[in-house]
Structure 1
Amino acid sequence: MQEVAWRIDNIALGFSVVVLCFVVFYLVGWLSSRKTTEVTDLYVAGRTIGSATNGLGMASTWASLATFMGVTALILQLQAPFVFLWIQWALSIPLITLLYGTSLRRMQAYTPASFIRERYGKTATVVVCCWMILIMLMYAVGQMIGLAQALEVLLGFPYVTTLFVAGIIIVGYVTIGGMYGASYNAAFQMVVMTLALIVPMGAIMRQMGSSGWFFPPLLYGDMVDSMLELVPTFFDTNYGFKWYFALIPAFTLGPIGLPHLAMRVFTAPSLKSARWAVVWFTGFLGLLFGGAYAVGFIGNYFQAIEGITIAAADADKITMILNVYYNPEWVTAIVIAGAIAAGLSTLNGNLLAIGALTAQDILGVFMPDIDDNLRMKIGYVAIFLGGIISVVVSYSPPDFLVTSILWAFGICGSAVTPMILLGVWWKEANRLAAIISSVVAGFTFIIVSPYVMPGIVLGEGVTANLGMSGALFTVPLAFALFIFLSLAFNRIPALESYSPSAEDRKLVDSIHGWPDSDDSRYSGNGWAALVGVICVAISIWGFMPW
């Protein structure tokens, strides 16, 4: 098979598309910024975003540039088993809403860390905010890398040039708009990226002879028989049960603690609106994800029928490669505009979360009485600096940052998710236990990954690179450690100050909507111990050789 270099030749066309995209996004951001007059406006858009707009924004923020690039590359590599991985991702927003999003919405939280402060105190807040900022930076770096690669194809400029020029423009646009700009831009960007992904793919399928070309997300099925002849292994689920089970802690529990997703729930004007936003989210994201899987399917099909090998370095660009090969250049330019929109929507959420975590949560610990105007200015600075750091790190990123978004899920599932879920649903959650379990499990995940101490890595290949094998060990470890340390510490008189107080217990009742406080609710130690025992067993299983 031959290898080909991919890019469009009409640089003026590419430049025009980029300029038009950013003019529109900056205009929306600037108009939205005029509404930003206080902290609530900056981080949660004054809690005024309607359900349909919020659903589009949730889907857009969650989809990210990975849908156009990294995801399709993984489908090329994993083929059919990728569907199982994707299902776990898609569960995260509904689970955020069901498990704690609407509960924290009642307490007017800006980020999940706002709840951590009320529930566990200042030290735990600083610990969890540091983890969240690290996770958001890794997320942002993944977007910056992808945007630079997309602009390479569109403009023909070197990676470093596109990275720094586009990076500075992007950071400015995000900083100006705040959450109002992020919400309205994300809704618009979701429409752009969905049309840019699906419509051109229909044209490609038609050229391939597919009768289902008019709706790629579902109707590429008429190509299945040909695929089985060309790539007989495509639909093989060639992994063991342990591999598929590992997707749950890595990609279901992991994203639940992501602050930029939870913040979308907090922008809703009411609990009912937040729940309806999830319905819209599911529909919009399902359409986009179905289209993206069709891209991966057709990418494999394309290599087989054309005899062309897509180099490993270009695998992330498969969506654009298909359009460069089959469609006119102006269509490819529109597709890349969709990719840019996808990256920007997620960067919006990442950088706003960094701003909120810094100015609202960490600053709230050390300077609780600071003036709101000054707090908002510091938030803008944090947003800008977070963007600049992500650009600098993306200049010469370590190899693992290509999959940094997925790897970050493992850190989040180990260090953040247990603190939130147990804090919301179990009154006996102990403050010191929360801190210890977060630090131990979070650093353990980093150590057993392939990127720090390769000699003791759990699992191998893509399973380890994506954090799946590490998460199967450390996520249940975090839950078990938290539960059993809480049960022990709550019974040690010398550690009484770390035990849940009457205010902590009252908080748990109030966020669940109870008008009174009753210690019989959410206090069962029996079920907590049972969960802890199950988690110990899973963690041991995860530690065993893969």
Structure 2
Amino acid sequence: MAVAQKAGLAGFWGNYLARRYTYFTIGFILFSMFVGLLESFGVISNQGIGYLFLLLTLAMYAGIGIMSRTKHLDEYYVAGRSVPAIANGMATGADWMSAASFISMAGTLWLLGYDGLAYIMGWTGGYVLLALLFAPYIRKFGQYTIPDFVGARYEGNRARIVASIAAILVSLTYVTAQVVGVGLIMSRLVGVSYEVGVVVGLMGVLVCSFLGGMKAVTWTQVAQYIILITAYLIPVTMLSLKLTGVPIPQLMYGRAISEINRLETEQLGAPTYTVPFRDVPSNASLRTSLGELNTKYNLGLTIPAATSDASHKGQPWNFLALMFCLMVGTAGLPHILIRFYTVPSVKESRKSVGYSLLFIFLLYFTAPAYAAFSRWEMLANVAGKPVSEIPSWAANWTKTGLLNITDMTKLEGVDGAKPPAWAATLIANKSLVWTDANGDGKIQLGDFVAADPNDATKGGTAGELSGTAVTAKKVDGILQFPELAIGADLVVLATPEIAGLPYTIAALVAAGGLAAALSTADGLLVVIASAIAHDVYAKALRPDAPVANRVRLGKIMILVGAAAAALLALPRLALIAQMVAWAFSLAAASFFPIILLGIFWKRANGAGAIAGMIGGLVVTIFYMYMNYTNPHFNVLGISHLGSGLFGLITNFILTIGVSLATAPPSNEIQRLVESLRLPTSDDSMRSSGPSPVH
């Protein structure tokens, strides 16, 4: 009877939500078209368009959060276990397709070409692992969190607490990347500073997750998925139509690749975009981060000389390690795994993974085309133009620090004591020298004179500038493609403006990126809060704590987690995709082995799990730090992004070794493991209903 009631409830909500979200989708498209008309008639400014999209989306998220507020424990942590599979699939897609997928993935492909495909294959392949190995068994276990699974399976609060710390570490790293995305989008969408953008964006996150926990987060994420996928597909479709006459970018991807190869051969002498395994360990992220810290906070930190290790260039090890870490990290992410607690049954969890793959496919199948069409546009219509004629989009994005035009003519009249970051780096490396000949404190250029007409590597002089970085092409006033120093986080957001599309499209893309960042941040903050309030406080320290206290502490921890993420996001230690890759490496090294062994190997015990998690995290963080600061510290050319490979191996060895060297789990636990793997036994009656606050 109860099973039938729950199934009926899910069906009711499924039909109800299908209608409501269909109306929402139509309304959002009509709103975007209306704003586009206002722009075409000159009724509204670009900043006004940005504010309209910002206010609409944040108001909608806040409205869902307020309507979904709850004091029930089941609803706060697992959305009452009544989310239909298709809705959970959309929510999981939004939770999954973070700022890294929306903002950074196409940009990473834009920069790395072939090597960027590791992100596509790793993140997509990870969902196949998740569907086959984890999702139904996690749902059948039927608790609130992943540390819940660890605590019960490995018999004790010690394992639970270690898992909670790992969950916080993984989630905080991941949510920091989302906050960086929020700051970048807000600064471009409405013109506020990056720091203000971080604060305003986080307020939108908190309204949802603070009031309603997983219930509010789930229904907000469904709406956010609709916005982000609409915002992602429209501009690349218009760009495909503009460049090829065919509005199906996925089918015209080959044409774009051919044009890129042709233009790169003309401008660079040889194609680079399709050449595999070019990416090598370097300290570029460290240098960029230190430069931003010096610029923002005047810290005077020493920026090391640029260095990289190309000893394994052309070999696939770094590519394969990154792809593998992204795959197994996907299957070990706490905020994704807990989504399968929110559906009514094991059957629904399997269907939910299928829907998730479908919704994720729509964006991931498009991302390579987005990157290719964007690169084609810049090679064809931006490179080769006079620097003085670069349109306003360049100045706007230069303010964010994601774009620099490094032609030396951009230094004319600049205060020599405050050169732009790219020039300051060249000066620090002594490849660029400024001599203030007239003593006015301003940089003046002149005609180029080669230091050695027979050796271009020796550079030359141009007025008050000299050094190996001063070449004929660097002072000719024509924008060469290598003089476009573009950050990966810029490409998706800036492409509509670069391609000359209406600003409404650019604002729509920014709103989509904001939806992607906020949706993932919501889920991650719930994981951080539940790890502290539920797993550490309620399960380990105060098992008799009232439900009201547990929910209240969870809300406080959401605020604390958001504040911590904001502080960590300010230095922008790496690209968004890189920070997300760190989180995946940490998840791969901590959770994947113990969950896999916990489900499929009865002999695994608590001592082994604790040793495995700690050892895996220590090895991963050590390798990550050492390679990030010194790229010559590596194994087979594997960068810090693939550091989870070594932690995962360590985790498996320690978990298996220590488990075999210590007493086996109890018979009860071994029977639990056997029951988890029985697909014919459903769990729809396993969990109790919501627990109201008294």
Which of the five TM-score ranges fits, normalised by the shorter chain? 0.7 to 0.9
C-alpha spacing 1:399/1:451, structure 2 compared with 1 (3 Å): farther
Tell me the equivalent position of 2:373. Answer: 298
Tell me the equivalent position of 1:523. Answer: none
| 1:18 and 2:54 matched | yes
Match of 2:609 among 434, 459, 462: 434
| 1:512 and 2:677 matched | yes
C-alpha spacing 1:86/1:417, structure 2 compared with 1 (3 Å): same
Task: Provide the rounded CA distance (Å) in 1 between the counterparts of 2:486 and 2:379.
Answer: 19
Tell me the equivalent position of 1:476. Answer: 649
Match of 2:595 among 420, 440, 445: 420
- The one-character-per-residue Cα deviations of 1:411-468 (angstroms, maximum 9, x if unpaired) are 11112211111111111112112111211221111111146884597439995142x1
> Unaligned stretches of 5+ in structure 1?
1-7, 491-498, 517-546
Contact 1:447/1:453, CA 8 A, preserved across alignment: no
- The one-character-per-residue Cα deviations of 1:463-499 (angstroms, maximum 9, x if unpaired) are 5142x1x223221221122112222224xxxxxxxx3
Task: Provide the rounded CA distance (Å) in 2 between the counterparts of 1:515 and 1:157.
Answer: 55
SS at match of 1:428: coil
Match of 1:251 among 326, 337, 340: 326
Task: Provide the rounded CA distance (Å) in 1 between the counterparts of 2:636 and 2:595.
Answer: 31
| 1:234 and 2:273 matched | yes
Contact 1:217/1:288, CA 8 A, preserved across alignment: no
1:384-423 matched pairs, under 5 angstroms: 384-399=559-574, 403-423=578-598
- The one-character-per-residue Cα deviations of 1:142-190 (angstroms, maximum 9, x if unpaired) are 0011111011111122211212232234323331232122111111211
1:339-354 matched pairs, under 5 angstroms: 339-354=513-528
Tell me the equivalent position of 2:491. Answer: 318
Match of 1:175 among 210, 221, 245: 210
Match of 1:338 among 512, 515, 522: 512
User: Offset at 1:207?
Assistant: 1.8
SS at match of 1:217: coil
- The one-character-per-residue Cα deviations of 1:54-95 (angstroms, maximum 9, x if unpaired) are 111111111111122221221122212322331121122332
Tell me the equivalent position of 2:469. Answer: none
User: Offset at 1:126?
Assistant: 0.6
TM-score, normalised to structure 1's length?
0.85
Task: Provide the rounded CA distance (Å) in 2 between the counterparts of 1:475 and 1:314.
Answer: 30
RMSD over aligned Cα atoms: 2.4
User: Offset at 1:51?
Assistant: 1.0
| 1:192 and 2:227 matched | yes
Moved over 6 A (4+): none
Tell me the equivalent position of 2:118. Answer: 84
User: Offset at 1:352?
Assistant: 1.0
SS at match of 1:202: helix
| 1:222 and 2:255 matched | yes
Tell me the equivalent position of 2:145. Answer: 111
Tell me the equivalent position of 2:531. Answer: 357
Task: Provide the rounded CA distance (Å) in 2 between the counterparts of 1:235 and 1:52.
Answer: 37
User: Offset at 1:515?
Assistant: 9.4
Match of 2:662 among 485, 489, 492: 489
User: Offset at 1:350?
Assistant: 0.4
Tell me the equivalent position of 2:157. Answer: 122
- The one-character-per-residue Cα deviations of 1:485-529 (angstroms, maximum 9, x if unpaired) are 222224xxxxxxxx311121121122223899xxxxxxxxxxxxx
Contact 1:97/1:265, CA 8 A, preserved across alignment: no
SS at match of 2:252: helix
SS at match of 1:157: coil
Tell me the equivalent position of 2:172. Answer: 137
Give 1 or 2: higher helix fraction.
1
- The one-character-per-residue Cα deviations of 1:313-337 (angstroms, maximum 9, x if unpaired) are 6431111211112211111111111
SS at match of 1:513: coil
Tell me the equivalent position of 2:81. Answer: 47
SS at match of 1:385: helix
C-alpha spacing 1:341/1:453, structure 2 compared with 1 (3 Å): closer
Contact 2:47/2:191, CA 8 A, preserved across alignment: yes
Task: Provide the rounded CA distance (Å) in 2 between the counterparts of 1:224 and 1:395.
Answer: 36
Task: Provide the rounded CA distance (Å) in 2 between the counterparts of 1:434 and 1:514.
Answer: 25
Tell me the equivalent position of 2:108. Answer: 74
Amino acid across the alignment from 2:98? S
Task: Provide the rounded CA distance (Å) in 1 between the counterparts of 2:582 and 2:358.
Answer: 26
User: Offset at 1:9?
Assistant: 6.8
Task: Provide the rounded CA distance (Å) in 2 between the counterparts of 1:270 and 1:177.
Answer: 22
Amino acid across the alignment from 1:17? F
Tell me the equivalent position of 2:427. Answer: none
Task: Provide the rounded CA distance (Å) in 2 between the counterparts of 1:50 and 1:295.
Answer: 32
Contact 1:168/1:388, CA 8 A, preserved across alignment: no
Amino acid across the alignment from 1:93? Y
Question: Which is higher, the Rg of structure 1 or of structure 2?
Answer: 2
Task: Provide the rounded CA distance (Å) in 2 between the counterparts of 1:117 and 1:394.
Answer: 31
Contact 2:325/2:644, CA 8 A, preserved across alignment: yes
C-alpha spacing 1:489/1:160, structure 2 compared with 1 (3 Å): same
C-alpha spacing 1:462/1:10, structure 2 compared with 1 (3 Å): farther
Task: Provide the rounded CA distance (Å) in 2 between the counterparts of 1:305 and 1:103.
Answer: 51
Contact 2:256/2:372, CA 8 A, preserved across alignment: no
Task: Provide the rounded CA distance (Å) in 1 between the counterparts of 2:197 and 2:64.
Answer: 23
Contact 1:50/1:268, CA 8 A, preserved across alignment: yes
Q: How many residues align?
A: 495
C-alpha spacing 1:419/1:133, structure 2 compared with 1 (3 Å): same
SS at match of 1:188: helix
Amino acid across the alignment from 1:79? G
User: Offset at 1:311?
Assistant: 4.9
SS at match of 2:250: helix
Contact 2:208/2:217, CA 8 A, preserved across alignment: no
Task: Provide the rounded CA distance (Å) in 2 between the counterparts of 1:334 and 1:401.
Answer: 20
Contact 2:185/2:197, CA 8 A, preserved across alignment: no
Tell me the equivalent position of 1:287. Answer: 362
- The one-character-per-residue Cα deviations of 1:122-145 (angstroms, maximum 9, x if unpaired) are 111111110110111111110011
User: Offset at 1:227?
Assistant: 2.1
> Unaligned stretches of 5+ in structure 2?
1-43, 265-270, 278-313, 384-480, 682-694
TM-score, normalised to structure 2's length?
0.68
Task: Provide the rounded CA distance (Å) in 2 between the counterparts of 1:88 and 1:458.
Answer: 24
Amino acid across the alignment from 2:276? T
Task: Provide the rounded CA distance (Å) in 2 between the counterparts of 1:241 and 1:29.
Answer: 46
Task: Provide the rounded CA distance (Å) in 1 between the counterparts of 2:263 and 2:580.
Answer: 32
1:498-509 matched pairs, under 5 angstroms: 499-509=664-674
Task: Provide the rounded CA distance (Å) in 2 between the counterparts of 1:483 and 1:460.
Answer: 24
Tell me the equivalent position of 2:352. Answer: 277
Amino acid across the alignment from 1:204? L
Contact 2:131/2:350, CA 8 A, preserved across alignment: yes
Tell me the equivalent position of 1:165. Answer: 200
Contact 2:74/2:80, CA 8 A, preserved across alignment: yes
